[in-house]
Chains A and B, each alone.
Chain A
Amino acid sequence: MSRRKGKKYSAEELSLQRWDKEVKRKKKLRDTRHMVRILIATMIAGCFAVLFLMPIVLTITNSFMSASEISANYGQVFATTDTGGKVYISDKVNLKFIPDMVSFSQYGTVLFKSPEYLLKFWNSVILVGPIVAFQLLVASGASYGFTRYRGRIKEIIFFLYIILMLMPYQVTLVPNYLVSDWLNVLDTNWAIWLPGIFSPFSVYLLTKYMRRIPTSVMEAAQIDGAGEWQIFRRICMPLCKGAMCSIAILIFIDYWNMVEQPLILLADQEKHPLSVFLSKINSGEIGLAFAVATIYMVPPILVFLYGEDYLVEGITYQGGIKG
């Protein structure tokens, strides 16, 4: 204290002060560096976001163009066959975000004049709906079976499910085809429904979720006199509600997007879902195609906006396959 009056610092204090300054400077540097890093990260993420969203946004905005505007913009790309005497085709491709004139004419045509698109849309609904509903039903039972009284046999069966789940379509399609042929359901919707309903994917996911319920809960219920059905209905199902939602979303996306199965199992093109049919729209109707594509996007986008958190949760549970 007395020394401070004379404004003399000992060597020790001086070095302490210097050290303090150094730390502050470093901290400031680190903070600015941190800020810069976050800024760069945000910018890169922004670029990616634009790239990711562009195709979707373009499809939607382009569906509001009139037929002549579409053919003017993309005539070069889709004019593979004869263009049927279009008035004006630019020699360049114009990728436009905003149509010159917003028109609902394409939607009008799709909804009221050409019923085939709506029919194909309905095919998609008919194919996907039962699969989602019944796959969940079968899977909830199965995962209950896998959760209660785990034994060696059940673990082996479960491992088999995992292997089946990991097999690519190319492998499982051949067995599917053989069974459909054998059951005489080839070319009917059953050929898609049946393998879809018994797909091991949702069983795996729901089992993983259900096994996280503490066994003591179920045992307590059992001691209180609940039967297996009551444990299943009153305890497991309510606790797995969120998981069921996320699995339903995952199944829905997967089957709404299907292409391979109908191509092989449904020879009759009338029965094909819209996802396959969209690629067959000929170049003259390209404007319509944008509108149809947008309509086809609507259900999954609605599901996504409504249940994004469920979806994220479902994906998260998929991770960690060994668990």
Chain B
Amino acid sequence: MHILKSRGKKRTLQQEKVGTKKSVQKIKKTGSNPRTRRGKWISAGYLFPSAAGVLLFFVLPFMIVIYYSVVDNPISHQFVFLDNFVMVFQNAAFQQAAKNTLTFSAAAVPLAVVLSLLLAMMLESKIPFKSQFRTFFLSPMMVPIASVVLIWQVLFHYNGMMNEILAFFHADKVDWLNSSYAQVVIIILFLWKNLGYNMILFMSALSSIPKDIIEVAVLESASSFQIFWRIKLRYMSSTILFVTIMSLINSFKVFREIYLLKGEYPYDTMYMLQHFMNNTFSRLDYQKMSAAAIMMAIVMVVIIGILFLTENHFGKDVEG
């Protein structure tokens, strides 16, 4: 109104009302206030370095990767569509790696989520030394895996500590790192490293559940199982989603532990997708590499999409 008046346009009341609405809409749409417009450009300028870097180092090369994945080779640029994907898919090493990675993630991620939730609930149930326990559980996250890998070797070597313990119970020796038990070792290592991080996320989620709702539930004589299942889990659904996604991503990073434990050629069940990528890198086979990377990206997007949808389904009525 004031803006219009100051511009000195004479209108009837009716016109003015209509005019105000329209011009307000216009201002909102185009940001025609010169100061706002200038601020917009400046704030975009703050964004620029990062956006340029991301574009240059992640987005554009990813486009090139997509391009590489559908051509014959980087020199002749023959378009072959899905041939590279089929080739990678039929590669025995890739199949082995994909299978190992999948079984590992399928076992490790749910374990990581459930165990860390239990730890968080234990710490939230008013036990003494809570902050000390938190520090202890979080410490593996800080320690570089390279530093503790020696101890893990001592523990799980054929002549190592675990087998000593087994021998004490008159059980047979197990070659932990060179048998199908290798995955178990890696899962333990993964849990050791990641539980603390997940636990912190769950602890903050647990403490942010509104107390009054739980009090009402207690008054209505709900059992503690019901309270957990029907209230707490519902309220934590977005955190559970996040923890699942993070655990999934971290489970793809487990190559690090395996590499430090066993080097570049570990036992078959420890041969992960990253090993496959590394070996392809060393042969500079761009097509295979690109196709594998894109397949992983697609799988990742699909999994995350599914997780988001499930969370939307279960958590929609508590969003607030």
Show the binding face of A for B, using Cβ within 8 Å: 37-38, 41-42, 44-45, 48-49, 51-56, 58-59, 62, 74, 76-78, 92-93, 95, 138-139, 141-142, 144-149, 151, 154, 157, 160-161, 163-164, 166-179, 194-195, 197-198, 200, 203, 222, 228, 232, 253, 256-257, 259-260, 263-264, 274-276, 278-279, 286, 289-290, 293-294, 296-297, 300-301, 303-304, 308, 311-312, 315-316, 318-322
Contact = CB atoms under 8 A, between A and B. Distances in A.
B126 A38 contact: yes
Given A38-B127, A76-B157, A138-B53, A45 B119 contact: yes
Contact of B159 (A76, A141, A176): A76
11 contacts: A52-B136, A53-B139, A77-B159, A93-B157, A171-B293, A175-B293, A194-B57, A259-B256, A297-B144, A320-B242, A321-B242
Interface string B144-175: 11111111111101011100100000000000
Nearest to A178: B61
Contacts of A301: 139, 142-143
B87 interface: no
Given A93-B161, A198-B50, A278-B147, A303 B142 contact: yes
Interface string B275-287: 0011001000000
Contacts of A147: 43
Interface of B: 31, 36, 39-40, 42-51, 53-54, 56-62, 64-65, 119, 122-123, 125-129, 133-155, 157, 159-161, 164, 192, 195-197, 200-201, 204-205, 238-239, 241-243, 245-246, 249, 252-253, 255-256, 259-261, 263, 273-274, 277-278, 281, 289-290, 292-294, 296-297, 300-301, 304
Given A263-B278, A321-B242, A179 B142 contact: no
Contacts of B204: 315-316, 319
A41 B146 CA distance: 32
Given A144-B46, A174-B290, A198-B58, A319 B205 contact: yes
Contacts of A253: 141-142
B200 A175 contact: no
B59 A296 contact: no
Contact of B160 (A93, A176, A257): A93
Majority secondary structure of chain B interface residues (helix, strand, loop or mixed) = helix
A59 B151 CA distance: 7
A228 B137 contact: no
A278 B149 contact: yes
Most buried by B among A41, A53, A168: A168
Nearest to A259: B256
Contacts of A51: 192
Nearest to B121: A41
A300 B46 contact: no
Nearest to B47: A145
Contacts of B57: 175-176, 179, 194-195, 198
Contacts of A195: 57-58
B135 to A, nearest CB: 6
A146 B200 CA distance: 27
B50 A264 contact: no
Contacts of A95: 154-155, 161
Nearest to A321: B242
What are the 4 closest A-B residue pairs judged by CB atoms, nearest first? Answer: A145-B47, A198-B53, A175-B61, A142-B50
A168 B241 contact: no
Contacts of A151: 40
A41 B127 contact: yes
B293 A170 contact: yes
A256 B144 contact: yes
B262 to A, nearest CB: 9
Nearest to B159: A76
B48 to A, nearest CB: 7
A279 B259 contact: yes
A149 B273 contact: no
- Of the candidates A141, A176, A197, the one having the most CB atoms from chain B within 10 angstroms of its own CB is A141
A230 B65 CA distance: 41
Contacts of B151: 54-55, 58-59, 62
B54 A164 contact: yes
Nearest to B274: A170
A230 to B, nearest CB: 11
Contacts of B274: 169-170, 260
Contact of B43 (A56, A145, A308): A145
A58 B192 CA distance: 15
Given A59-B148, A198-B53, A278-B147, 11 more contacts: A49-B133, A55-B143, A58-B151, A59-B147, A92-B159, A138-B49, A146-B47, A148-B39, A228-B42, A315-B204, A320-B242
